[in-house]
Structure 1
Amino acid sequence: MKAIISNKYGSPDILEFKEVKNPIPDENQVLIKIYAASLNYGNLVLLKGEPFLARFAFGLFKPKYIIPGGDISGKVESVGKNVKHFKPGDEVFGDLSGCGWGGFAEYATVPENSLVMKPSNISYEEAAAVPMAATTALQSLRDKGKIKSGQKVLINGASGGVGTFAVQIAKSFGAEVTAVCSTRNLDIIKSIGADNVIDYTKENFTKNNELYDIILAVNGYQPISAYKGSLNQNGKYVMVGGSGAQLTQAMILGPLLSMTGSKKLGSFLQRPNQTDLIFIRDLIEAGQLKPIIDKYYKMSEVPNAFRYFEEGHTQGKIVITM
């Protein structure tokens, strides 16, 4: 089969498009013919080995997982004898980041608990855009933010992969959503249901005297003290992306600031979860959630896809077609 190979850490230039042996499923695995995959921030961490602490999970001196790619969609080719919930021909999607990656390839062997039946009302390409980003949005709002109907939620960096899902998921919980993005993304954000949209090139939301029950920081940068000042009493600030400075402040200062007063500030890291992916699939089939896709690349063009992703201006997701 054809696959993207990464034998060392570095820039997109080190990626190779080559023939490798087809994977063979064991008795507990499903063999998937992959139709589409997508890019997430975790793919960039796996490519570069940065931040350095990530290497303790991905391999200290070179990548432990030589075929990158987490989010996939495709069709079941065969199943191991112990697999109970899938059969050949099933249309599936899932997140491979918790079971060895390997999504930038024509085939992959996957534990069945990493897969869910694909939503019936979207394409393989759209389905591949969903798992990691949508799960991040769901878990950060529901589990970390404790979102409730009627709350005021602000999403900073609303036009990227996680942000576009977060806007829609927050609306599905009955929240009033304010989305922060650049001028060129205003129409996209309005189209997915944001109640209020702030153009950060013209207005700093931390200085408009508005207060929010949840602030989800997906991209961009504001000092953590400014985020705290924009929270209601008992409000929660959840950092899931953004600049290195934003990450450092959330991890180090967040817990300290949370010790004084009722406002809670901290970071969040997504965990692959089949139950959550079923929940997301149901939202998609109910018409409450749709993936926004910026660009499509062929598998042979994955290095170019990474270069575009690194620019940091993606509208929704980047999808890789096989």
Structure 2
Amino acid sequence: MKAIVCDKYGSPDVLELKETKKPIPTDNQVLVKIHSSSLNYGNLVLLNGKPFLARFAFGLTRPKYSIPGGDIAGTVEVVGKNVKLFKVGDEVFGDLSVCGWCGFAEYVTVPEDALVLKPTNISFEEAAATPMAAVTALQGLRDRGKIKPGHKVLIYGASGGVGTFAVQIAKSFGTEVTGVCSTRNVGILRSIGADHIIDYTKESFAQHTKCYDLVLGVNGSNSILAYKRVLKPNGNFVHVGGSESQLYQTLFLGPFISMTGSKKISSLLQRANQKDLNDVKELLETGKVKPIIDKRFKLSEITEAFKYFQEGHAQGKVVITV
């Protein structure tokens, strides 16, 4: 089969399209013929090994996983004898980040608990755009952010992969959502239901002091003190992405802020799981959430896809068609 191979950390130019051995599923796995996959921030970490702390999970001197790619959507081609949830021909999607990655390939073997059935009302590309970003948004809002109906929610970096899901998921909880983006992305936020939009090229979100019950920081390099200022008493700030400086502030200054006042500062490390993906599947089936796809690239165009993605201006998700 054809697969993208990454044997060393570096720029997108280190990625190579190679012929590799087609995997054979064990008794507890399924073999999936991949139709589509997508790019996430975790793919960049796996590519360039930054931040350095991530190398303790992904390999200190070289990538632990030679075939990158987390999100996939495809068709079950073979099932192991112990598999109960799926049969040959089922259309599925899932996040492989906790079971070896290998999504940038024509085939992959997957434990059945990493997959769910693809909703019939979305395409393979839309399904592949969903798992990691949508589950990250769900866990940040619901589990870490303690979102409730009637809350006022601010999403910084609302037009990217996680952000577009976060806006829609927050709306599904019955909240009032404000999205922060640049001028070129205002239309996207309007189309997915944001109640208010702050164009950061024209005004600062930090001017809106003590306005929000929950702030989700998806992107940017803002001081967490700026986020703290816009929180209501007992409000929550959840960091899910952005600059290294913002991450380290959250990790090291956040606990002090949380212990000395009513406002809580925390960071989320998304963990893929079948239950949360099934929750996302239900949102997709009911039309409460729709994946936003910016660009599509072929597997052979993976280098160009990464170069575009790492510029940080994608409107929604970047998808790889296999």
Looking at structure 2, the residues matched to 178 and 46 of structure 1 have their Cα atoms a distance apart, in angstroms, of: 32
State whether residues 51 and 244 of structure 2, in contact with CA within 8 Å, keep that contact through their aligned partners in structure 1: no
Looking at structure 2, the residues matched to 78 and 224 of structure 1 have their Cα atoms a distance apart, in angstroms, of: 48
Looking at structure 2, the residues matched to 82 and 222 of structure 1 have their Cα atoms a distance apart, in angstroms, of: 49
Looking at structure 1, the residues matched to 48 and 208 of structure 2 have their Cα atoms a distance apart, in angstroms, of: 38
The corresponding residue for 1:272 is 272
Deviations 1:147-186 (A, max 9, x none): 0000000000000000000000000000100000000000
Deviations 1:68-105 (A, max 9, x none): 00000000001101100100000000000000000000
Deviation at 1:224, TM superposition (A): 1.1
Deviations 1:191-237 (A, max 9, x none): 00000011000010111335100000001122111111110010000
The corresponding residue for 1:189 is 189
State whether residues 210 and 229 of structure 2, in contact with CA within 8 Å, keep that contact through their aligned partners in structure 1: no
Looking at structure 1, the residues matched to 245 and 266 of structure 2 have their Cα atoms a distance apart, in angstroms, of: 13
Q: Residue 60 and residue 221 in structure 1: after superposition, are their counterparts in 2 closer, same or farther (change >3 A)?
A: closer
Structure 2 length-normalised TM: 0.99
What is the percentage of aligned positions where both structures have the same residue?
69
The corresponding residue for 2:118 is 118
The corresponding residue for 1:289 is 289
- What code does the residue aligned with 1:65 have? Y
Is it true that 1:47 corresponds to 2:51 in the alignment? no
Looking at structure 2, the residues matched to 198 and 51 of structure 1 have their Cα atoms a distance apart, in angstroms, of: 29
The corresponding residue for 1:208 is 208
The corresponding residue for 2:93 is 93
SS of corresponding position for 2:27 = coil
SS of corresponding position for 1:88 = coil
Is it true that 1:61 corresponds to 2:57 in the alignment? no
Looking at structure 2, the residues matched to 34 and 11 of structure 1 have their Cα atoms a distance apart, in angstroms, of: 25
Deviations 1:279-304 (A, max 9, x none): 10110110100000000000000111
Looking at structure 2, the residues matched to 50 and 224 of structure 1 have their Cα atoms a distance apart, in angstroms, of: 21
Gap regions ≥5 residues in structure 1: none
- What code does the residue aligned with 1:242 have? G
The corresponding residue for 1:76 is 76
Gap regions ≥5 residues in structure 2: none
Looking at structure 2, the residues matched to 104 and 198 of structure 1 have their Cα atoms a distance apart, in angstroms, of: 36
Looking at structure 2, the residues matched to 209 and 255 of structure 1 have their Cα atoms a distance apart, in angstroms, of: 21
The corresponding residue for 1:162 is 162
1:118-157 superposed matches below 5 A: 118-157=118-157
The corresponding residue for 1:30 is 30
SS of corresponding position for 1:74 = strand
- What code does the residue aligned with 1:55 have? R
State whether residues 8 and 63 of structure 2, in contact with CA within 8 Å, keep that contact through their aligned partners in structure 1: yes
Looking at structure 2, the residues matched to 51 and 198 of structure 1 have their Cα atoms a distance apart, in angstroms, of: 29
Looking at structure 2, the residues matched to 114 and 248 of structure 1 have their Cα atoms a distance apart, in angstroms, of: 30
Deviation at 1:120, TM superposition (A): 0.9
Looking at structure 1, the residues matched to 13 and 71 of structure 2 have their Cα atoms a distance apart, in angstroms, of: 22
Looking at structure 2, the residues matched to 100 and 273 of structure 1 have their Cα atoms a distance apart, in angstroms, of: 14
Looking at structure 1, the residues matched to 134 and 106 of structure 2 have their Cα atoms a distance apart, in angstroms, of: 24
Per mean C-alpha deviation after superposition, the further-off stretch among 157-166 and 58-67 is 58-67
State whether residues 210 and 232 of structure 2, in contact with CA within 8 Å, keep that contact through their aligned partners in structure 1: no
Looking at structure 1, the residues matched to 149 and 83 of structure 2 have their Cα atoms a distance apart, in angstroms, of: 39
The corresponding residue for 1:303 is 303
Deviations 1:89-133 (A, max 9, x none): 000000000000000000000000000000110000010000000
SS of corresponding position for 1:296 = strand
The corresponding residue for 2:227 is 227
Looking at structure 1, the residues matched to 18 and 223 of structure 2 have their Cα atoms a distance apart, in angstroms, of: 44
Looking at structure 1, the residues matched to 154 and 203 of structure 2 have their Cα atoms a distance apart, in angstroms, of: 14
The corresponding residue for 2:263 is 263
The corresponding residue for 1:4 is 4
Deviation at 1:248, TM superposition (A): 1.1
SS of corresponding position for 1:82 = coil
- What code does the residue aligned with 1:80 have? G
Structure 1 length-normalised TM: 0.99
- What code does the residue aligned with 1:261 have? G
SS of corresponding position for 1:162 = helix
Looking at structure 2, the residues matched to 59 and 163 of structure 1 have their Cα atoms a distance apart, in angstroms, of: 29
